[in-house]
Amino acid sequence: MNEADAANRLMRLAKAIARHNRLYHDQDAPAISDADYDALVRENAALEADFPHLVRANSPSRGVGATPSSSLAKVPHARPMLSLENAFAPEEVAEFVARVRRFLSLAPDADVALTAEPKIDGLSCSLRFVQGELVFAATRGDGQIGEDVTANVRTIPDIPQSLAGAPAVLEVRGEVYMAKVDFAALNERQLVCGGKIFANPRNAAAGSLRQKDPGVTAARPLRFLAHGWGEVSEPVADTQSQAMARLAALGFPVSALLIRVGTLDDALAHYAAIEHARADLPFDIDGVVYKVDRLDWQDRLGQVARAPRWGLAHKFPAERAETTLEAIDIQVGRTGKLTPVGRLIPVGVGGVIVANVTLHNRDEIVRLGLRIGDRVRIQRAGDVIPQVVENLTRDDLRAPYAFPDHCPECGSEAVGEEGEVDVRCTGGLICPAQRIERLKHFVSRGAMDIDGLGEKSIVEFAGYGWLDSPADIFRLKKHRDELVGREGWQAKSVDNLLAAIDARIGFDPARFLFGLGIRHVGAVTAKDLMRAFGTIEALQAAAIGDDAQAELSAVEGVGPVVAEALTDFFHEPHNRDALADLLGLARPAAFVSTARTTEWTGKTIVFTGTLERMSRDEAKAQAERLGARTAGSVSAKTDLVVAGPGAGSKLKKAAELGVHVIDEAAWEAIVAAS
């Protein structure tokens, strides 16, 4: 690689790593696997070793530039700020509309009007107006808790400070962004004054908004486009399109490209029109957002995990290029997954030099017939890690690539589970790759968030033989005196670390559960599980019980895959031992629910038979919103059965057990009254 390429690549890496740091640490929303993240860090370190004079002031290896301002005050959102599910193909948009119809029990050809508007590449912001006055502004953060940027937002000319004729409480949500020309001019000014150079308008907008000093924000040309709302004291309108018109009338900029479409074809036509206009738009966009127009339907549709069922982001297609696959490296992830990474002759794709691609798994290599030396077509979509879409050298002349059957880190056997595409190291906690990753994950921000226990210390303590499993973290105090005086450790820093660890005794059980690194159990699922079960012990009891699949799958947001991962985890005696050890030391608190409390909170409801006015999913979501749990089968623990026509054995069982049974209309009345 020549010097110019290296400099370019280092700039891109700094940008990518900073972004992933932010996604992971500030927003709890990592976009890539830990292994892929590590690959970026390693590539950065290797390039810096080859070109020491190119080490950037904001190099990720110097640990700066990752978080512009984590010192902004954290504030909870009155209503969570959601993200959107992504789609790339028109068929996925069609499926979205079909899903909406199914959920609402509409006819398969029923009209579902949508709004369609550009997806702005900025950062979302919530603006709270009380009695028409702007009182508060916050970034999205992790969706539940954002950062207070009130003073900064007051400097943005697009944003009105007071409104006439607005509801008493109105939270307007939208995108803070920087126009392309303003971004270029800002970077030129930064170059002259030796300031930070931003990688793209989105970073510049984020860096400018998330400032401690509003004076800095005021000097940056930020803009705003409204795309929705949060808490409101009275309904804004009957439809999304009317609501957006109302926001515009109140003085908020709303996209001129927002339209209401009556059919899927019209939605796709508008997508094509926006894509056509993309290059000429004054700001960056990365797709089109569709939203169900009727707000009563939006309410019924509700949300799954972090995204509403009524919205979809239709992203623009990825950019592609051709190059040669030079090597295949195998990385071992936190959960033991062996991920093949393709090393490429670096090639430019849409302005970024790509040197690595994820090859996903063994099957993907087989599917593409990949061997080292093959010519490949790669693509990158937005910030997603680049991938191979086509092998241009498919032939039978050379032997296929042999996927390793042993872990490259610890030499344990690597196996593909029945029906699974992934090959995993069976070394569990003895595998160094997994041990460190497991510990890192356990202490990470989204999990136990132990201040001062970073990767470096984990590696150091593991090296002394003090850290094998997460429970050992709570035993580190035994080594206090030994640690004091070692390089980099004074009594004060050791005591601070031990205090940070002790502060996590009795911590949030959802974050504890997430920290265990159980496959498929992310932060949101962990919360759902703790909301349903209250304690890790109760979850364990359910997961090893006879009815485990049914009981776990009854939790909103938990499907059969998560249920299986949980039963797998809790059935493994080794895991139960390690967990019991850890629970004994860390003693997580009982879960404090943020769901609404109603007379149904904590009750178990079973839906059976055909529901005629709503789908089963909608009924379950309604129950969840009342704080209730839903189950798939009737037992002595069932508090209520909602039965439609055709309910059979469950109705009989309910009668036997004396469980109260109601029909769909009575259920609707409960929902309406609660």
Q: Shortest approach of ligand IVH to residue 465 CB, angstroms?
A: 45
The verdict on 141 binding ligand IVH (CB under 6 A) reads no
With b meaning 16 or more CB within 10 Å and e meaning fewer, what string describes 416-449? beeeeebbbbebbbebebbbbbbbbbbbbbbbbb
The verdict on 114 binding ligand IVH (CB under 6 A) reads no
> Would you say 291 or 620 has its CB closer to ligand IVH?
291
Please tell me the distance from the alpha carbon of residue 550 to that of residue 383, in angstroms, as a whole number.
Answer: 38
The verdict on 289 binding ligand IVH (CB under 6 A) reads yes
> Would you say 44 or 255 has its CB closer to ligand IVH?
255
> Would you say 128 or 140 has its CB closer to ligand IVH?
140
Helix (H, G, I), strand (E, B) or coil at 146: strand
> Would you say 29 or 643 has its CB closer to ligand IVH?
29
Residues numbered 228 to 247 that lie near ligand IVH (CB under 6 A) are 228
Residues numbered 304 to 333 that lie near ligand IVH (CB under 6 A) are 308, 311, 313
What does 534-588 look like in DSSP terms, one character per residue? SSHHHHHHHHHSTTHHHHHHTSTT--HHHHHHHHHHHH-HHHHHHHHHHHHHH--
Q: Is 653 a catalytic residue?
A: no
- Strand duo 311-315 + 74-76: pairing: unpaired
Q: Shortest approach of ligand IVH to residue 123 CB, angstroms?
A: 6
Q: Which string of x and - marks every residue 172-201 that binds ligand IVH (by CB under 6 A)?
A: ---x--------------------------
Catalytic residue among 15, 119, 337, 440: 119
Please tell me the distance from the alpha carbon of residue 663 to that of residue 398, in angstroms, as a whole number.
Answer: 66
Q: Shortest approach of ligand IVH to residue 284 CB, angstroms?
A: 10
User: What is the residue whose two structure tokens read 């398969």?
Assistant: 108
Q: Shortest approach of ligand IVH to residue 409 CB, angstroms?
A: 35
Please tell me the distance from the alpha carbon of residue 220 to that of residue 211, in angstroms, as a whole number.
Answer: 11
- Could you tell me which residues come within 8 angstroms of residue 497 by beta carbon, excluding any fewer than 6 positions away? 451, 452, 453, 457, 476
Q: Shortest approach of ligand IVH to residue 292 CB, angstroms?
A: 11
Helix (H, G, I), strand (E, B) or coil at 178: strand
Q: Shortest approach of ligand IVH to residue 104 CB, angstroms?
A: 18
| Binding residue count for ligand IVH, defined by CB under 6 A | 15
With b meaning 16 or more CB within 10 Å and e meaning fewer, what string describes 40-56? bbebbeebbeebeebeb
Q: Shortest approach of ligand IVH to residue 31 CB, angstroms?
A: 11
Q: Which of 27, 124, 152, 387 binds ligand IVH (CB under 6 A)?
A: 124
Q: Which stretch binds ligand IVH (CB under 6 A): 54-62, 116-124, 274-282, 506-514?
A: 116-124
Please tell me the distance from the alpha carbon of residue 468 to that of residue 578, in angstroms, as a whole number.
Answer: 10
> Would you say 97 or 582 has its CB closer to ligand IVH?
97
> Would you say 117 or 422 has its CB closer to ligand IVH?
117
- Could you tell me which residues come within 8 angstroms of residue 302 by beta carbon, excluding any fewer than 6 positions away? 308, 309, 618, 621, 625
What does 30-52 look like in DSSP terms, one character per residue? -SS-HHHHHHHHHHHHHHHHH-G
The torsion of the CA quartet 461, 507, 22, 382, rounded to 10 degrees, works out to 110
Q: Shortest approach of ligand IVH to residue 73 CB, angstroms?
A: 21
Residues numbered 72 to 91 that lie near ligand IVH (CB under 6 A) are 82-84
Q: Give CA 674 to chain center in angstroms.
A: 31
The verdict on 119 binding ligand IVH (CB under 6 A) reads yes
Please tell me the distance from the alpha carbon of residue 600 to that of residue 662, in angstroms, as a whole number.
Answer: 14
> Would you say 149 or 407 has its CB closer to ligand IVH?
149
> Would you say 32 or 566 has its CB closer to ligand IVH?
32
Please tell me the distance from the alpha carbon of residue 363 to that of residue 416, in angstroms, as a whole number.
Answer: 10
Give the residue nearest to ligand IVH (CB).
124
Angle between helices 455-463 and 432-443 (to 10 degrees): 130
Residues numbered 203 to 232 that lie near ligand IVH (CB under 6 A) are 227-228
Contact residues for ligand IVH, defined by CB under 6 A: 82-84, 117, 119-120, 124, 140, 175, 227-228, 289, 308, 311, 313
Q: Which residues are catalytic?
A: 119
